Structure 1
Amino acid sequence: MYKKIVWSAIGLIVVMVGIFVILVYTDSSQSADKTNKERRGTEVRAASTSEEEEVVKVDTEAPNPFGKNSTQEELTDEDYRNYLHKMSHQKVIADEKWGFYEITSERIDWLWQGLDKADLKNKNVYREILERWREDDFSKVDQDHNAIWQLQGGTIGEATGILSSEEEEAFLQETKEQ
């Protein structure tokens, strides 16, 4: 009977030590994962046929969908205002429109994801706009345009309404032909 108690205690201690080791290992690997995700590229170790590990470079951030070299971390308020303003031109009525970026879910998501990576003064304004746009809600796109336009100090080209589907399609066609 005494031997059973001793062996049970030893077994319990071994299990507890094993759980402790697993928890410590999991916690450190999660911390390392967070650190790796903060970098643009991370190293992933993949098992190879030999006993050595192969190091594979993985790009964790999608390239800038606006065709620029800047990363999400490098984005400034000026970048956000520029991108959002020019994207809104696809959907708004205005006497003057300078510049254009086609609205795509890739661009919207990339900007939205960048909000938590960049140091921005007007982050809440951009977040409200992008959250609506992510849901394909462009019912306030003229107000969105004008909010950004005002942040830019706009004096000419205020949005006065929202284009109909047909007008938007014509604008896209005209812009693509230029």
Structure 2
Amino acid sequence: MKKMIVFSLIGLLIVGGGVMWYAQGELMPSNGNEVETAKNSHGAQGAVSGAVTEEDLETFEEEGKNPFGETIPADKLSEDNVKDYIHGMSHQKVKAKKKWYFYEMHPERITWLLESLDQVELKHEDVYKRILQKWQAGNFDTVDDDHNAIWNLNNGTVGKATGILSPEEEKKFVEKNK
């Protein structure tokens, strides 16, 4: 009887540990195609992550929101806001073990951010402009480096970009994370 209790307890500990390990993603590491459910660093709760439609953008404008679905106007953007928006958009195009949130990379979002940089004073404005100007021109050859530049500014420890998604992988990522 004592052996049965001991073996049952050991079994429960093993199963419980396995569940915890699985829940942390250790048994099934991310292939970079999932977005974790978490807030970005400025704690956005109203932001619309995932894919955005032209109808969404029109609705945001009518409601006085920015192209990311938030009520933060261009002249009130903080360093964290800009980093989060760029970082979230880069997730569409990069391979990484973890991606905490995602904003579709949309031309209107890129243009709005570039124009917003003229209205605020930010410590790393030159980095943001360089990245956004490349993206506006359709140049994504170093989007993984762009992601990692922002990731480094955020003192990233998990989720460093390890490459660039193929067009097929990117399409699948966007559709999966709408």
The alignment's TM-score, normalised by the length of structure 2, stands at: 0.63
Partner of 1:111: 113
Higher relative CO (Cα under 8 Å, sequence separation at least 6) belongs to: 2
Pick aligned residue for 1:131 from 133, 145, 151: 133
Name 1:155's counterpart in structure 2.
157
Residue 141 (structure 1) shift: 0.4
Is residue 2:144 matched to residue 1:142?
yes
Q: Distance in 1 between matches of 2:65 and 2:121?
A: 19
Any idea what the Cα deviations from partners look like across 1:41-78, whole Å, max 9, x if unmatched? xxxxxxxxxxxxxxxxxx9xx84100100111100110
Identity rate of aligned residues, in percent? 49
Paired residue for 1:165?
A: 167
Equivalent residue number for residue 48 of structure 1: none
Map Cα deviations across residues 1-32 of structure 1 (whole Å, 9 max, x no partner). Answer: xxxxxxxxxxxxxxxxxxxxxxxxxxxxxxxx
AA aligned opposite 1:90: Q
**By how many angstroms is 1:86 displaced?**
0.5
Q: Structure 1: how far apart are the matches of 2:65 and 2:157?
A: 33
SS for the counterpart of 2:163 is: strand
Whole-angstrom CA distance in 2 between matches of 1:103 and 1:67: 14
Consecutive unaligned residues in structure 2, runs of 5 or more = 1-60
Moved over 4 A (4+): none
In 2, the alpha carbon distance for the partners of 1:140 and 1:63 equals 30
Q: Decide which of 99, 109, 113 is 1:97's aligned counterpart.
A: 99
| Counterpart for residue 79 of structure 2 | 77
Specify the SS of the correspondent of 2:156: coil
**Aligned letter for 1:175?**
N
Aligned to 1:122: 124
- Offset of 1:119 from its aligned partner? 1.6
SS of the residue 1:125 aligns to: helix
Separation in 2 of the partners of 1:119 and 1:64? Answer: 18
Q: How many residues align?
A: 116
Q: Which residue identity is paired with 1:72? A: A
Q: Can you list the C-alpha shifts for 1:153-178, whole angstroms capped at 9, x where unaligned?
A: 100000000000000001011102xx
TM-score (norm 1): 0.63
Structure 1, gaps ≥5 residues long = 1-58
